[in-house]
Structure 1
Amino acid sequence: MITTIDLNSDLGEGFGRWDLGDDEVLLGIVTSANVACGFHAGDPTIMRRTCATAVAHGVAIGAQVSYRDLAGFGRRFIDVPPEALADEILYQIGALDAFARLAGSRVRYVKPHGALYNAIVHHEAQAAAVVEAVRAYDPALPVLGLPGSAWLRLAEKAGLATIAEFFADRAYTSQGTLVPRDRPGAVLRDPDVVASRVLSLARGEPVAAADGTPLRLRAGSICVHGDSPDPVPMAHRIRETLTAAGVTLAPFTRGAGGERP
């Protein structure tokens, strides 16, 4: 049985006059915030506000880096040359870190978003580019990713701390990868079903893949998407279920980051 785990969410994903999700409420529930850095969503004002609110709630700030794809919300693969991709990742981390520091904190970890997240499960060159960017910016930054991915393997090889992630509201294939969003049932909408899956994970029990295959998954952080249908009740249900089972929710960066439990 897991005794302590992190609960993260993708936040700050509005742009200009458009808001996406209820960041204010979610920041009172989650323990880590993957904040959009302006390439798939977010803008300077939203980034600054999200960082300030995260700090007020004791939530760890993570840089959610992505392809430069505002129109596609970062969910389209882009064949970026590795050198350019590394520079774009550095740019995003640095931009968010400026606002995090103004709020009295700093970027505590890095998590890729969308198509980049999925690409670097297998795309060795792009995975290596993202690893190099994080290592160049701050080799003490942990990284979040899919268990078994090239991204986490190369990050660990480079000396970065790696945190395996479980997606509470996404279906998995029998290979342990995420079911593509354009397929039926890829996004889970029932808070009870989602909470039950998370509890199974915490207990060390298998979680069913989309085809029913039992998967043994391990994770140090659980993700509930801020742009999922009704993310607030879903995040509430996850937190309540884990707390009732005796699991403490806390940032995985708490020891080094100084966030309160």
Structure 2
Amino acid sequence: MAGTSHIPAEEMEELREAFSKVDVDGNGHISTDELNQLFKEANLPLPGYRVREIVQELSRTMDLNQDGKITFDEFAKVVRDLKSSEVAKTFRKAINKKEGIYSVAGTSEQSGTQHSYSGETNTLQNNHTKPVIDDTIVIWVNDALTQAGKGTISGFKDGSISSSMPVLDLIDAIQPGSIRYDLLKAEDLTDEEKLNNAKYAISMARKIGARVYALPEDLVEVKPKMVMTVFACLMARGMRRI
């Protein structure tokens, strides 16, 4: 990706995660309206005029080519360059508070940015006597898949996740009949077909009420951390079944 190739992979993943929280319509860029909505939902203890100043500053600084759209490259560059500024710190607070996103697991040694997982994962942790760990989620996922007569996964690095079929199968296990398998191709997929499956999986996960914020590319590329958040959110949704 032009302009961001020097960013460590872990930090890049965190930046993409943050970008997706602000880009609510998923069109690949952030608008001024989305920035305003971010601060509105975050409900930070700031006067209205200060919020307007911050949004104006972010828009002016991030939109490097002044085309009215903040791309991921522009977003990543400015968030890193302004890491210690008041505006950047306030921006991060707003992102972390959006839709119940809570900072957990400390700070990245490489980037200085906080790791965060969705409120669904946080809820799971609060509802158990010990933190939810990868194995716990995998066991729950595989139990749900097995009960529905579907294939299981070995973990969040399982190559089959690249097709998004395990995610789609889990969604269908949680809400039977929700997935249109006749629209899907499960084997010998091209890159485009994998991406189409992933887009459908993310869309359907959100449709059944799972608060997923990962990107389709995270499934196609089988990024373990982001894959974990998808399954954790679906687990939380599945545990609410009556």
Q: Give the TM-score taking structure 2 as reference length.
A: 0.29
Q: Which has the higher contact order (CA 8 A, sep 6+)?
A: 1
Give the structure with higher Rg (CA). 2
Q: Which has the higher helix share?
A: 2
